[in-house]
Structure formats: structure tokens, C-alpha cells
Amino acid sequence: MDAFNLNFALARRQTAAPVVLLALLSTATLSTANATTYTLSKPDDVVVGEDQTIMTVYEDTLYDLARAYSLGSEELIRVNPSVDPWLPGAGKMLVVPGRHILPPGPHEGIVVNLPEHRLYYFPKPKRGGPIQVITYPVSIGKMDWRTPLGTTHVIQKQKDPTWYPPESVRKEHAEAGDPLPPKVGPGPDNPLGAYAMRLAAGNGTYLIHGTNNPIAVGLAVTHGCIRMYPDDVAALFPLIPVGTPVRLINVPVKVAWIDGELLLEAHPPVDAQGQSFEPDIDQFSDLLKAAVGDTTVAIHWDYAREVLQKADGVIATVGLEAELPTQSEAAPAPASTATAAAPADTARP
């Protein structure tokens, strides 16, 4: 496919994509604005949700809107960089990214993708019932408090948990002039919130729990635990039986094939301490090519690199599945044709 036809085809698909909905909403009505449970029409569905466009009213903040639309605060701020998160003002048009490519690997139990700051829960479908996925934004570990990777499981559930700060955490707070008691009981001062699910990882020291500081959900601010909005963890808690598998992954670049289109979703990568950093476009491009594999695809590399550089989590169509030329057509193949194994001048930034 030559460059002109690829550009034209991608432009048509981007224009035609049903991703923009207009709503005039205030924070007073946002608590029920967006569900996080999606029913899959078939088992191999890989994309859920939809992006929206909303108009602010004077009392809005991006932090309130993020919580109402099941987003971490950074998710909403990243795609609306020119808007003041505390004082956006009335009449501002905001993009609300609500479309997600499901994480790679087994779709069972809980999957947390650290760069995405997002949890996916795949409940076991009842016989004859629909296949569903439930997704929520989460916080992960901050500098020097790494959220572990790998497969683990839920070993305990607690309502109104008591927090016993580890000695290392107490030392950190003491050095900051904010000493902690040996234990913190249930209530508004408890950073675990009202619900906690203990994981087997780290000898049981890691939790999925609520928070008394919901504004920080979506950031790398925890001591390695996975923190959720209070209403989200309250909804998830009764659904999770002890023994539920939990998979913690680090996948900043996700791709999906939908009707011959290559969809790309990129998030800022995270380092070993859970901190986001600027993506290396060479490495991101390699991740994209690895994700595509041996599929013959015409990729718009300039646009793909732009999406990778933004790493804002908004899904974009960056390529089209290409047909291999027949033997009679192979000889005069044009130099501008790009595939997943494209020539060096087009395949790399």
C-alpha cells in the first residue's frame, strides 16, 4: 500500500471512528456518569469502552471529573495538557479517554498493568451468561517502594482493616516530621480505607485497598500497594473470593487488530520504582514491531511514532493489514511499501 493511500485510508478510519460523544455535565451528576463493567459480545473481543468529549461547568475540577469517569487524575490531565486541573473554567471541551485494549495474557482473575495504572477483573462467567470485564484506575508504588511484578493471588480479605505501618514507613514519616502511631484503626485517618485484599506477594505485605486520599489515585504514590477509589474498592471487594489469581504486568504498549486495522495504545513506561518516565521512541517502536509480530501490515510510522511519543493512553489506528503480493506482482513491488519488517529508513525513527 503506498503512502498516499495509507494516509487517506487511516484518515477515513479516524474520522469515522465512533469515539466522540458530547455531554454537558456538572459534578453534581457525575457519580453515575460512567460504568466500569463491560460485556463482551464474543470471547475474543479485545477493545472495550469509548472515548468521550465533555464540556466543563464552573465548579468542575479535573480531579473530580477523573473520579467520576473511572480515570486516574493523571489519565485525564495527560490528554488535556492545556487545561488547569484545579480551575479549568466553564465551557472547556475535555477529552475523556475511556476506550481500552485489554491487557495481553490470560483474561482471568485480576490483572494490573502498572504503566496504565489500571486494574482489570475478569469474573468467571456463569453458565450461559455473558463474558464481562470490570476495570478501575489504581495507584502503584512510588520511588523506592516497588509494586512487584508476576503472578500471585488473594490470601485474605478485610473490611475496616487496621493499618500496622511497617518500621520503614514509620521511619520515613518521622524523618518528614509526621510521626505515625504503631497502628491506625478504622476511620478517616486510615490510609487503607474501608476495604483491603491481601496478596501472597512479598510474604503478604502487599494489598489491594481503598484510600483516604482519593485525589492521588492514578499516581505512583503508594508504598508498593495497589490503591483504589473508595467507591471502586467497595464495588470490587464482594466480587473477589480468596484465592483469586492476580497478575501484575508492565506493558506500556498494547496493540489490537479490529477489522483489519492496527490499533495502538501507549502509556508512559515505569521504572523499577514505579515512576513514569519519558518514553524512548526507539524502544517503543521496537515494542510495537514485536507486538505486531509476523503479521503483514502497512504501518504509518510517522503517525505511530507521534502516538508513542504522546503516550497518553488514547487508542489510535496506526496501520492496516496488508495483503501479500502474488508471485506475479512481487517483482515490481514499490519501494514505499511498509510491513512489520519494514526497511530501515521507514521502520525506525
Q: Annotated catalytic sites, by residue?
A: 209, 225
Q: Running DSSP on this structure, what letter comes out for residue 276?
A: B
Distance CA 231, CA 214 (A): 10
Residues 6+ away with beta carbon under 8 Å from 258: 46, 47
Query: What is the residue-wise DSSP string for 112-137?
Result: EETTTTEEEEEPPPPTTPPEEEEEEE
CB 167: neighbour CB atoms within 10 A? 8
Element (H, E) at 207: strand 207-209
Q: Phi-psi region for residue 274, left (φ > 0), alpha (ψ -120 to 50) or beta?
A: left
Sheet of 253-258: strands edge to edge? Answer: 253-258, 261-266, 316-321, 297-299
**What is the per-residue burial (b if ≥16 Cβ within 10 Å, else e) of 92-122?**
bebbbbbbbbbbeeebebbbbbbbbbbbbbb
Written as one letter, the residue type at 74 is: E
